[in-house]
Amino acid sequence: MRLLKDIISIVVVAGTVSVVINLFNPHGFVLVSRSSLDQRRIVPISAEEAMIKYDADMAVFIDAREKAEYDYAHIRGAVNIPVSDAAAKQGTDEKFSFLDRSAEVVVYCDGPGCGASESMAKLFLDRGYRRNVYIIQKGFPEWELREYPVERGE
């Protein structure tokens, strides 16, 4: 019993010392919570990097814009999940079944300020997706500008 008490006290003192030293150490760690770790799994990429994934056929492209915008023009092969729609159907939709597959996920919306990609990425992480979610930082306009494959509605 005394042994156990001694062991616990040594571990507690060592833990406290390590945290205090870490606070003042320039080589220390930033101790983060789980949610900020999740935040780091949302990785912004350029259209060029997205194109590499597209060419290699290793990613599912998700269009987070509204259906009308998607119908007008979208990345060829992309799946449309409007972010408002996705939030409403959270937990039931089989549209999300790709999350269980090994493919990477690239999300895009209308540009750097649109925010839909990020909310969508957060939604995926909330649903238990364990890998990085890539978002095309400058969105569909950059993709279009570079004349990468686009599908247009009639």
Partner 1 sequence: MSGESGIKRAISSMLYGNRLTVVIRILLGAMLVFSGSLKIVDPEAFGRVIARYDILPEALIAYAALMVPALEFMVGLSLLIGCKVRASAFIAVLLMAVFLVFISVNMARDRRFDCGCFNVGILGLDFAETVGPWLAIRNVLFITGFALVFRARRHLFSLEHYIEKSRLKNLEKTKYE
Report the residue number, 3 or 68, with the smaller CB distance to partner 1: 3
Q: Could you tell me the smallest distance in angstroms from the CB atom of residue 105 to partner 1?
A: 19
Measured distance CA(108)–CA(59) in Å, rounded: 13
Helix (H, G, I), strand (E, B) or coil at 135: strand
Nearer to partner 1 by Cβ, of 95 and 131: the residue is 131
Instruction: Give the residue with the Cβ less far from partner 1, 25 or 84.
Output: 25
CA distances from 133 to 14, 50, 111 (A): 37, 12, 17
Interface ranges with partner 1 (CB under 8 A): 3, 6-7, 9-11, 13-15, 17-19, 21-22, 25, 27-29, 31-32, 34, 37
Interatomic CA distance for residues 137 and 108, integer angstroms? 8
105, 21 Cβ separation under 8 angstroms: no
Q: What's the closest the beta carbon of residue 57 comes to partner 1, in angstroms?
A: 28
